[in-house]
Amino acid sequence: MTRTEQVSVGYIGLGNMGAPMAKRLLDRPGGLIVCDTRQEALEPFGKAGAKTTTDPRVVAENAAVISVTVLNDQQVRDVVLQILEVARPGMVVAVHSTISDVTAVELAQLCSEHGVELVDAPVSGGAPGAHKGKLAVMVGASDTAFEKVREPFGHWAELVVHAGEVGAGTRMKLARNLLHFVSFTAAAEAQRLAEAAGLDIAELGKVVRHTDAITGGAGAIMLRDSTEALDENDNWYPIMSHVRDLGEKDLLLAIGLGERLEVTLPLARVALTGLGPGLGVDSTATKEQP
């Protein structure tokens, strides 16, 4: 599909994520039809000039590319089955819900029997990113399907990544969210230590958000194309060794403070032994921690 070709798009599921994503498609040439079970969710789109319906089959009759943002695997499956009742060959169904990659692959196979391509395209950036049009979308799709969705996705996503075949988008999202929620757990551990030390944890939060905005947070070290151990002649070796040395020093100090305050820090201890190897360099932390 060339840049000048504009296909009609549909959006199913106008919740906290779907509504702001669909809103950014209102001014796109080609037409927009939206679907939700709630009339109050449809009303602002109807007033803005979009077609509205409560039936996914009507969307399939009017759109060539359909985005789906619903709650879970079962709801995605139900919507896809309804779409396939009236689907036309060449259509693309994009699932933005975070579902199982197994479900995505199974549904893609089912869609292929009808000449329809399903892509799994979960997003990252939350509701704030959706409202600003700054989401990242990780697309598991064939090259052909990716070319069809890249342009409409660009209206609500700042970063559109072709992760690989169907299922790869979901796998990338799960890896990304693993970091997200492990980091939240680590933040909770840090707050327990700070609170026990008599610190204002709200002020600590301000410091963390401020400095992460400068350094890039955990993503700042995700620059290599392999997790293998680094050769000492590799340009990354001195950089990652420096990060390891700083990290192990500070982790040892934090663990020592935790012991004095009788605060258990299990994630800190895991990080102490895992930081170096995770960066591709050996750990220099002593087995006998303070």
Instruction: Please list the active-site residues.
Output: 173
* Closest C-alpha to 252, from 283, 280, 221: 283
Burial class (CB in 10 A: 0-12, 13-18, 19+), 11: buried
Question: What backbone phi and psi angles, to 5 degrees, belong to 162?
Answer: -85, 100
Q: What tokens were used for 211?
A: 């400095």
Helices (H) and strands (E) in the chain, counts: 11, 9
First-to-last C-alpha distance (Å) of the chain:
61
What is the gyration radius of the CA atoms in the chain, in angstroms?
23
**What dihedral do alpha carbons 108, 109, 115, 116 form, nearest 10°?**
-10
- E strands present in 79-205: 92-95, 117-120, 123-124, 135-140, 157-164
- C-alpha neighbours within 13 Å on the C-beta side of residue 171: 12
Burial of 109 (0-12, 13-18, 19+ CB in 10 A): exposed
Instruction: Write the secondary structure of 14-68 as one string of H (helix), E (strand) and C (coil).
Output: CCCCHHHHHHCCCCCCCCEEEECCCHHHHHHHHHCCCEEECCHHHHHHHCCEEEE
In whole angstroms, give the CA distance from residue 253 to residue 271.
13
